[in-house]
Structure 1
Amino acid sequence: MGFPSVCYCVILPQPLVLVLQLLDFLRHAVLLCLSSLGLAAPPAADDHPAYAAPPPDLWALPPSLQAAAVAAPPAAIKARLPAVRYSDLLRTRRAATPAVCAVCLGALEARHRVRELGNCAHAFHKACIDKWVDKGQDTCPLCRALLLPADADAATLASSSSFSF
């Protein structure tokens, strides 16, 4: 034999569940208001998930790279990453392995114009990496390293931005 495969739980009507959730929300709102006025102790973090401290950002950059991570406008990034013929790049690298653009998955041929990234030295078709940068990306599509070297002057990049506060 065995146990029947049905759930033995209390089924509450949906309107009752909604009323209970509303009462819980109002209770937390009143507690938060009272604690912000100093009339009550702040609620414990384990009392409700809304009071818990935010989790640490696992993808945060170390402080040494945060200055270099200032969002540069696409025009500034393209100006710092000049386009060259792939054949010229091969002469400086002395690499004989065939390369592939990780954006379009097309082969890099000697006649193609490419941009070599500053930090990781990955090469991509000029049009492909330009589209990538125009979408607001500032990291390598292959390894996620910053497009520009970390020793870039962040003030120069920020001053060339067209945004004003």
Structure 2
Amino acid sequence: MSYSGLMMLPKSYFDIFLVILLVPILNLFVYLHNSFSTSISYLGLPYFIEPDITVDADHVSSSSSPATRRCNIPLSALLLRELLPVVKFSDLVDPPDSCSVCFKDFETEDEIWRLTNCQHIFHRSCLNRWMGYDQKTCPLCRLSLVPHGKEEMYNERLWWLCNNSQL
């Protein structure tokens, strides 16, 4: 029979003891997390723990009233839609044949999102759906969707909107 050097119990008893000790510790962490989340919510700071708080698409600008409503579009996606250039497929020089998200061929009149950091292009609806899942990176290369040089403005506006929107 093998013995553990710590408690002089048979190894199998020591393993069971660790599991019995670990479960209450994990339960304590869950309790603390739930208590912290509830406290933050009661203080009116749910944006601190829920960064994907959303508002109505008509109330995106920094001059919007605080009486905004929830919808299915994250604030980050609404702000990114303002920052990214939309172009017609026919205006692009040497574009790929198909969208990397839906794999459908581009049509001449399709509205295209051209990412400024990596130059990848996607159908507008495909990238909108991607950003709707609160994704802030290119679906192909994972570079940030926020254009270089506009990160500070993006973060300030996102912070302002989170602090001035009500649920």
Relative to the length of structure 2, the TM-score reads: 0.52
Q: CA deviation at 1:149?
A: 2.4
Aligned to 2:157: 160
CA distance in 1, matches of 2:88, 2:80: 18
Query: Which runs of 5 or more residues in structure 2 are unaligned?
Result: 3-9, 26-74
The 3-state SS of whatever aligns with 1:160 is helix
Deviation string for 1:126-157 (max 9, x for gaps)?
A: 00001111111111111111112222141x21
Give the match's secondary structure for 1:132. helix
Where do 4+ consecutive residues of structure 1 move more than 4 Å?
Answer: 16-19, 22-25
RMSD: 3.2
Distance across 2 between alignment mates of 1:75 and 1:132: 12
Report the Cα distance in structure 2 between the residues aligned to 1:85 and 1:22, rounded to whole angstroms.
60
* Distance (whole Å) between structure 2 residues aligned to residue 83 and residue 125 of structure 1: 10
Indicate the SS of the match to 2:163: coil
Relative to total residues, which structure has the larger helix share, 1 or 2? 2
Q: Counterpart amino acid of 1:80?
A: L
Pairing partner for 1:21 from 2, 9, 18 = 18
Read off the aligned partner of 1:115 and give its amino acid letter. Answer: W
Larger radius of gyration: 1
CA distance change for structure 1 residues 22 and 150 in 2, over 3 Å: closer, same or farther? same
Where does residue 128 of structure 2 map in the other structure?
A: 130
Picking from 140, 148, 151, the partner of 1:150 is: 148
Distance 1:22 1:113 in 2: 56
Equivalent-residue separation in structure 1 for 2:118 and 2:20 (angstroms)? 55
Q: How much does 1:108 deviate? A: 1.2
**2: distance between equivalents of 1:20 and 1:153?**
50
Alignment of 1:9-158 (within 5 A): 16=13, 19-21=16-18, 73-88=76-91, 90=92, 93=93, 95=94, 98-154=96-152, 156-158=153-155
Q: By how many angstroms is 1:84 displaced?
A: 1.7
Tell me, yes or no, if the aligned pair for 1:73 and 1:160 is still in contact at 8 Å.
no
Alignment-mate amino acid for residue 105 of structure 1:
F
After superposition, the Cα gap between the structure-2 partners of 1:23 and 1:81, relative to the gap in structure 1 and judged at 3 Å, is closer
Report the AA paired with residue 125 of structure 2. Answer: A
Partner of 2:68: none
Aligned to 1:69: none
2:147 counterpart letter in structure 1: P
